[in-house]
Chains A and B, each alone.
Chain A
Amino acid sequence: EIVVTQSPGTLSLSPGERATLSCRASQSVSSSYLAWYQQKPGQAPRLLIHGASNRAAGVPDRFSGTGSATEFTLIISSLEPEDSATYYCQQYGSSLYIFGQGTKLDI
């Protein structure tokens, strides 16, 4: 069974800074199924990145994703206050979809 681990658990940064969020899988996974979601308090999750590096429709270009095999990264190049949220990565395994535990980003 694939385990997806995110780090750090919490990240506190200032507007304009760069955020680097990590997602690690316990075994090599397909980049095609690696997605990142943003969730703000009281809201449903929102798709940010799919296929490890492709921005979803309407997502600002300050969000980018990289990685392959077991190591994936979400980068927010210049933080805006509205980027405060919890970010989850998701991978596919055993006919189900596995989420990491999330990284809470405070701006």
Chain B
Amino acid sequence: QVQLVQSGAEVRKPGASVKVSCTASGYTFNRHLIMWVRQAPGQGLECMGVTNPGGPYTTFAPRFQGRVSVTRDTSTTTLFLELSSLTFEDTAFYYCARFSGDSYSFDYWGQGTRVTVSS
């Protein structure tokens, strides 16, 4: 069955970087885009970017460009979202989600990774 499993919670200081992993299984990895979504405490969902795992190539939302990147472990089906120059406003849950070309929507989601930025 399709699964997206994310790495565990992280705590970082302001100015540091954090790396969140998303490991996919149960489908052909390169055939489905992955969306990265951020949800600050008590807030809504925000699309940070969309990754084509084949590259990986990512289109990022303008407000994140310059301090976010996505890499891939080529020996596995794992993507890594790295966010640098963290501020308190980066405290949030981060989700990865799989795009379905059949439904043009995101049909499977990771469980989320909580990132806390605290001094």
Are A96 and B59 interface neighbours, CB within 8 A? yes
Which B residues are CB-close (under 8 A) to A102? 44-45
Known contacts: A44-B95, A45-B95, A96-B50. The answer to whether A56 contacts B107 by CB under 8 A is yes
Which A residues are CB-close (under 8 A) to B50? 95-97
Which B residues are CB-close (under 8 A) to A84? none
Chain A facing B: main interface SS: strand
Are A96 and B47 interface neighbours, CB within 8 A? yes
Q: Does B76 contact A (CB under 8 A)?
A: no
Which A residues are CB-close (under 8 A) to B110? 44
Instruction: Assign chain A's interface to a size class.
Output: 20 to 34
Known contacts: A35-B106, A54-B103, A56-B107. The answer to whether A99 contacts B47 by CB under 8 A is yes
Chain B facing A: main interface SS: strand
Are A90 and B112 interface neighbours, CB within 8 A? no
Interface residues on chain B, number (Cβ under 8 Å): 22
CA A101 to CA B103, docked complex, whole Å? 22
Are A47 and B107 interface neighbours, CB within 8 A? yes
Q: Mark A39-75, 1 if CB is under 8 A from B, else 0.
A: 1000011110011001010000000000000000000
Which B residues are CB-close (under 8 A) to A39? 45
Which B residues are CB-close (under 8 A) to A35? 103-106
CB distance from A44 to the nearest CB of B (A): 4
Q: Which of A32, A45, A46, A56 contacts B45 (CB under 8 A)?
A: A45
Q: Which of B59, B61, B100, B105 contacts A90 (CB under 8 A)?
A: B105
Q: Mark B89-119, 1 if CB is under 8 A from A, else 0.
A: 0000001010010011111011110000000
- On A, residues with C-beta under 8 Å from B are 32-33, 35, 37, 39, 44-47, 50-51, 54, 56, 86, 88, 90, 92, 95-102
- On B, residues with C-beta under 8 Å from A are 35, 37, 44-47, 49-50, 59, 61, 95, 97, 100, 103-107, 109-112
Some 5 contacts from A to B, beta carbons below 8 A apart, are: A37-B45, A51-B104, A88-B45, A90-B106, A99-B44
